[in-house]
């Protein structure tokens, strides 16, 4: 891969940085204004050779998400590199509608691997294009938030914005 574009947007959850390839596919994103944190979400061998500041195509989808049009972010193209298990997991994450959550066990079953709960958690942990691949919609089996690379406050805010009707957002 050669060049990529990076842009930091202001959101109600703080700065949100998006890295896109030359074809407008999101490679990585997250709630930070530190480009190195976003780049670190991508395996070194898959990182772009050069990162340029500019306007990313997905900026409008981020604005739409925060304006209440939640599914626009699911239409943004992404590019992720991983095993077949990870690729299937990331596809399944994009199928979780806004306002819905799955437990890691339910997510493992959606991936076709009902006994692979730890693998399901790893799929979420290694998800680089946060928001566009909504790993924040997966919770622990007891309904608590679990982990999130960008912090539990952001995860809680995203789920509240999506009107997830659960009471254990702790």
Residues designated as active site: 135
Q: Pairing between strand 26-30 and 14-21? A: antiparallel
User: Which class for 47: exposed (0-12), middle (13-18), buried (19 or more C-beta within 10 A)?
Assistant: middle
| Cβ atoms 127, 137 nearer than 8 A | no
Element (H, E) at 112: none
Angle value at C-alpha 18, between 76 and 38, nearest 5 degrees:
130
């Amino acid at each position: 891969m050669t060049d990529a574009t990076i842009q930091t947007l202001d959101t109600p959850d703080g700065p949100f940085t998006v890295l896109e390839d030359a074809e407008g596919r999101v490679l990585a994103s997250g709630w930070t204004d530190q480009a190195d944190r976003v780049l670190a979400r991508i395996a070194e061998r898959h990182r772009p050779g050069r990162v340029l500041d500019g306007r990313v195509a997905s900026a409008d989808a981020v604005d739409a998400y925060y304006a209440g049009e939640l599914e626009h972010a699911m239409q943004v193209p992404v590019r992720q590199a991983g095993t077949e298990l990870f690729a299937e997991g990331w596809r399944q994450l994009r199928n979780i509608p806004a306002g819905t959550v799955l437990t890691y066990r339910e997510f493992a079953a959606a991936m076709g691997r009902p006994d692979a709960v730890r693998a399901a958690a790893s799929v979420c942990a290694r998800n680089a294009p946060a928001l566009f691949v909504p790993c924040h919609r997966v919770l622990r089996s007891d309904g608590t938030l679990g982990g999130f690379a960008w912090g539990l406050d952001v995860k809680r805010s995203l789920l509240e914005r999506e009107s997830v009707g659960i009471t254990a957002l702790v």
